[in-house]
Amino acid sequence: MLNIAVFGSGAGSNFQSILTAVQQGGIPGARIALVVSNNSGAGILGIARASALPAIHLSQKQFPDEGSFALAIRAALDAHGVNFVVLAGYMKRVPPEIVAAYRGRMVNIHPALLPRHGGEGMYGIRVHEAVIRAGETVSGATVHYVDEEYDHGAVVLQRTVPVMPGDTPASLAARVLETEHALYPEALRKIALESAARLTQT
């Protein structure tokens, strides 16, 4: 069983696509156990609450230091039996203690074809500005495992998106976001099927 915690900071459109896939049985054996946001007004919390899912606001600002923030995250994950973490539009650094505790069980989605156009500071519209500035004709989205470095872990799944002549960063971002909404559920389905296969092998 994949007991998933989803972390997000914004509208929650990636979370919505994942939730719909879970509800439709597209990610076998998966359930959303918890939704966490660093932004108390984030759309992602509203989407979770509308589906009566546990949804909490947890921000580094509520804690004196990163260590106590990490303990609070860990306590929330443990309290909800979370065994897999999905970062979906989460704009904060995950404390290293949490990355270490969930090594191989935490993924993120990045709106470009990693390893190109990733790394610290490369998020949101900046990614698409860099892609256009580099004169790329193809961009895309990448789901990858999370490790201590930004946008660096093993790739789970990637999908390409054409960069059209005359694209602005905003028009490219919109096209990539649509692809993200298909890619993330597909990547989580792949992980769920692989983990089920591993369990039946044991």
Which stretch, 9-17, 52-60, 71-79, 114-122, contacts ligand GRF (CB under 6 A)? 9-17
| Near ligand GRF in 58-87, by CB under 6 A | none
Under 8 Å between Cβ of 62 and 32: no
1, burial (CB in 10 Å: exposed 0-12, middle 13-18, buried 19+): middle
13 counts as binding ligand GRF under rule CB under 6 A: yes
Q: Which residues contact residue 115 at a Cβ distance below 8 angstroms, ignoring those fewer than 6 apart?
A: 151, 152
Query: Which residue has the CB atom at the shortest distance from ligand GRF?
Result: 89
| Near ligand GRF in 153-182, by CB under 6 A | 177, 180
118 counts as binding ligand GRF under rule CB under 6 A: no
- Figure out which of the listed residues 4, 6, 7, 8 binds ligand GRF, where binding follows CB under 6 A: 8
Toward ligand GRF, which CB reaches closer, 9 or 195? 9
139 counts as binding ligand GRF under rule CB under 6 A: no
14 counts as binding ligand GRF under rule CB under 6 A: yes
